[in-house]
């Protein structure tokens, strides 16, 4: 029985392996059969990574970043019985506009998937006269209706909260530039209707810790717990040979998530395995989803590896919350309401 309570979508079928004996550092450990999705996973798709999954009926469903062989990223639907072995649709997700006409983005990458009430929302990065956030909704994973782009360019790494807070939809995002963005803080915005977004607040910025000293960005949808919103995000450092992406953890105030209650100064996972260090873009661990079981507190983290593979890592709500709290360093710009 988990001491830290998990609310929201929960599945007892969450993939799981026990923590290996002798595991050191943060209480996040990798699936021994990683990566779970290898190269050339579908016809015309060279690599799948940075993807989001969730339970659906008795099985699992996901939105996957598929890098086509021509280099253009798109989103593909995938299904699984065990949340480890995935089968992908041959065609890209067929987005429509509100009138039901085809409305495909020019490109689409880094999708997140969030269910609020009876509707599933997909958000991703796309071209809106520059990199920005695209969004669509579905209730059946057959019809996908694009809704208004929430923000002006340039912006990336948007992820909705899985329920309304104080009657409003909330979404994290990371304002950026048109390139590989050498800066970036996480902000939260609210909306009454998923069309108009405002009341933007700063959530948290980069830190002086090496692994997140350049920029940070939202990752998996925040998990509601009895301690606050548990956020797995990415932190980036710059080296002479490129960026390194690690997974970080923080806990946001449940009623005002612009306030960071705890923020772990240590990374939870940093590229160390061959599939994280070697690939199209080396040294990338990029979390986009979690699945959890409220009863046991088990959490499975899905993360993109080296812009080439999908990896799976495990933790428990009790262990990761304790670790984040024990190693928490919260700066003034994190703990304030984020309005200037």
Point out which residues bind ligand BMA (CB under 6 A): 50, 109-110, 180, 245, 281, 284, 286, 304, 307
DSSP string, 125-169: EEESSSEEEEEEEESSSS-EEEE---S-SSEEEEEE-SS-BTTBE
Nearer to ligand BMA, 19 or 39 (CB): 39
Min dist. Cβ of residue 262 to ligand BMA (A): 26
Q: Whole-angstrom Cα distance, residue 251 to residue 241?
A: 32
Q: How far is the CB of 214 from ligand BMA (least distance, A)?
A: 11
The H-or-E segment that residue 200 falls in is: strand 198-204
Nearer Cβ to ligand BMA (75/317): 75
- Which of 126, 316 has the CB closer to ligand BMA? 126
Check residue 269 and report its DSSP letter: B
Helices (runs of H) and strands (runs of E) counted in the chain = 3, 22
313/321 with CB nearer ligand BMA? 313
Q: In the complex with ligand BMA, which residue's Cβ is closer, 150 or 184?
A: 184
Q: Quick one: 276 or 293, whose CB is closer to ligand BMA?
A: 276
Q: In the bound complex, which residue of the shown chain has the CB atom lying closest to ligand BMA?
A: 281
Please state the closest distance from residue 280 (CB atom) to ligand BMA, in A. 8
DSSP symbol at 210:
G
Edge-to-edge strand ranges of the sheet holding 186-191: 155-160, 169-175, 186-191, 198-204
Q: How far is the CB of 99 from ligand BMA (least distance, A)?
A: 31
C-beta of 49: minimal distance to ligand BMA in Å? 7
Strand partners, 214: none
Alpha helices in the chain (DSSP H): 274-277, 317-326, 332-335
Q: Smallest distance from the beta carbon of 284 to ligand BMA, in angstroms?
A: 5
Question: Which secondary-structure segment (H or E) carries 274?
Answer: helix 274-277
């Amino acid at each position: 029985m988990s001491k830290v309570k998990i609310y929201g979508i929960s599945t007892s079928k969450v993939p799981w392996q026990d923590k290996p004996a002798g595991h050191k550092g943060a209480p996040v450990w990798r699936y021994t059969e990683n990566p779970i999705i290898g190269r050339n996973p579908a016809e015309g798709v060279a690599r799948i990574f940075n993807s989001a999954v969730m339970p659906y009926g008795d099985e699992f469903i996901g939105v996957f970043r598929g890098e086509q062989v021509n280099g253009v990223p798109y989103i593909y639907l995938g299904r699984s019985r065990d949340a480890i072995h995935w089968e992908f649709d041959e065609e890209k997700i067929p987005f429509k506009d509100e009138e039901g006409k085809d409305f495909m983005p020019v490109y689409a990458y880094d999708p997140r998937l969030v269910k609020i009430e009876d509707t599933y929302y997909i958000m991703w990065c796309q071209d809106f006269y520059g990199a920005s956030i695209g969004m669509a909704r579905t209730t059946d994973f057959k019809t996908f209706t694009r809704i208004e782009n929430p923000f002006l360019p340039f912006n990336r790494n948007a992820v909705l909260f899985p329920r309304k807070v104080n009657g409003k939809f909330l979404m994290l995002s990371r304002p950026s530039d048109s390139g590989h963005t050498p800066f970036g803080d996480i902000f939260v915005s609210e909306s009454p209707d998923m069309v108009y977004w405002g009341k933007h607040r700063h959530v948290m910025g980069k830190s002086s810790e090496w692994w997140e000293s350049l920029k940070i960005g939202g990752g998996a949808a925040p998990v509601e717990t009895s301690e606050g919103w548990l956020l797995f995000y990415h932190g980036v450092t710059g080296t002479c040979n490129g960026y390194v992406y690690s997974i970080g953890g923080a806990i946001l105030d449940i009623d005002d998530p612009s306030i960071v209650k705890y923020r772990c100064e240590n990374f939870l996972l940093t590229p160390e395995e061959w599939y994280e260090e070697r690939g199209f873009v080396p040294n990338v661990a990029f979390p986009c989803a979690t699945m959890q079981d409220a009863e046991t507190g088990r959490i499975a983290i899905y993360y993109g590896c080296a812009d080439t593979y999908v990896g799976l890592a495990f933790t428990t709500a009790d262990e990761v919350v304790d670790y984040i709290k024990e190693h928490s360093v919260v700066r003034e710009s994190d703990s304030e309401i984020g309005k200037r």
